[in-house]
Copies of this chain bind each other. A is one copy, B any other.
Amino acid sequence: MTPRRTAPYRAGVTDEGQRVQAPPPPLAFLVRGPDRPGLLHALTGVISAHHGNITSVEILERGEHSTIFFEIDPVADGDALIADLERLEPVVSVERTLSMHHVYGKRIIVIGGGAQVGQVAVGAISEADRHNIRGEKISVDTIPLVGEENIAAAVRAVPRLQRAVALVLAGALMGGEITRAVEEIRRQGIMVVSLNMAGSVPKAADLVVSDPIQAGVMTVMAVARTAKFDIARQRGRVY
C-alpha cells in the first residue's frame, strides 16, 4: 500500500517547500480469465505472498472474459509474481501495462458552478498543455454541481479520487459544510485554491485567486515539477 496522501509527487514539494524526487514507477498489469467467486481474494493472496503493496485495483470486465487491472508498488521479483499469478487455476493470462499514473499523471479537480468551472478549466488545460509538452503529465477534471451538501460531499471525496493532488473551488458563494470539508482534505494533503467569492471558503483555502483563468493556471504551476511556482511561499495570499 502506497503512502498516498503523503506521496512526494502529490504536490511536487514538501511542506518545507523543498522539491522532492518522484517515487519509482509502480508495477501495473492486467489479469484475464473467467470470473470466479473469490478470484480477487486468490489474486491478492499471491500478491501478498510476494510482499506486494496494492495501490489500485479495478475490475474492468466480468464473466467468461473478465479483466482485472492492478497497480502495486515495485516488488523484489516482478517476473516471479506474474508467473505465480499465471499459475492460478482460472487465470488465462497476465499482461504488464502502463500505470495509470504514467498515462494520466496528477489530477487537478475543479468543482463549482458551470460558468466559473469552465473558465478555470480553460486556464488549467492550457497551462497543463505547456507542462505536458515538457514531460509532465497533468490532467484537469471538473464537476459542475449546485448546493452546499452536494459540493461538500464532492470535496470530501477528492482524496478518494486516484492521483488527485489539488482542488479548485469555482463559484460565487461557498461556506458552511463546504468550508469544513476544505479543512479536512487540506489536512489529508490536498492543495485547495479558491476563487475570490462570498462565504468562508476563501479563508480556508491555501490560495485565493480572483480571475478564474489565472486560478487554473496557478494551480497547474503549483503542482508541476516543471514550474518554478512554490505554493509554500504563496500560502494564504490573495490575487
Residues of A within 8 A of B (CB): 1-5, 35, 37-41, 44-45, 47-48, 51, 53-63, 66, 68-69, 98, 100, 103-105, 107, 113-115, 117-119, 121-122, 125-126, 128-130, 132-133, 137-146, 153-154, 157, 159-162, 188
Report how many copies the assembly holds.
Answer: 2
Contact call B35/A41, Cβ cutoff below 8 A: no
Q: Whole-angstrom distance from the CB of A153 to the nearest CB of chain B?
A: 5
Chain B residues closer than 8 Å to A141, beta-carbon distance: 107, 139-142
6 smallest beta-carbon distances between A and B, as pairs = A114-B129, A129-B144, A139-B143, A141-B141, A1-B62, A118-B122
| Pick from B40, B63, B103, B159: contact of A153, CB under 8 Å | B103
Q: Of the candidates B57, B114, B122, which one forms a contact with A130 in the assembled complex, judged by CB atoms under 8 Å apart? A: B114
CA of A160 to CA of B163, assembled, Å: 14
Q: Which of B62, B130, B132 contacts A145 (CB 8 A)?
A: B132
User: What are 28 of the A-B contact pairs (CB < 8 Å)?
Assistant: A3-B61, A37-B48, A38-B48, A40-B54, A41-B41, A44-B44, A57-B57, A60-B160, A69-B160, A100-B157, A100-B160, A103-B154, A103-B157, A104-B161, A105-B143, A117-B125, A121-B121, A121-B125, A121-B140, A125-B142, A128-B143, A129-B144, A129-B146, A132-B143, A132-B146, A140-B141, A140-B142, A140-B143
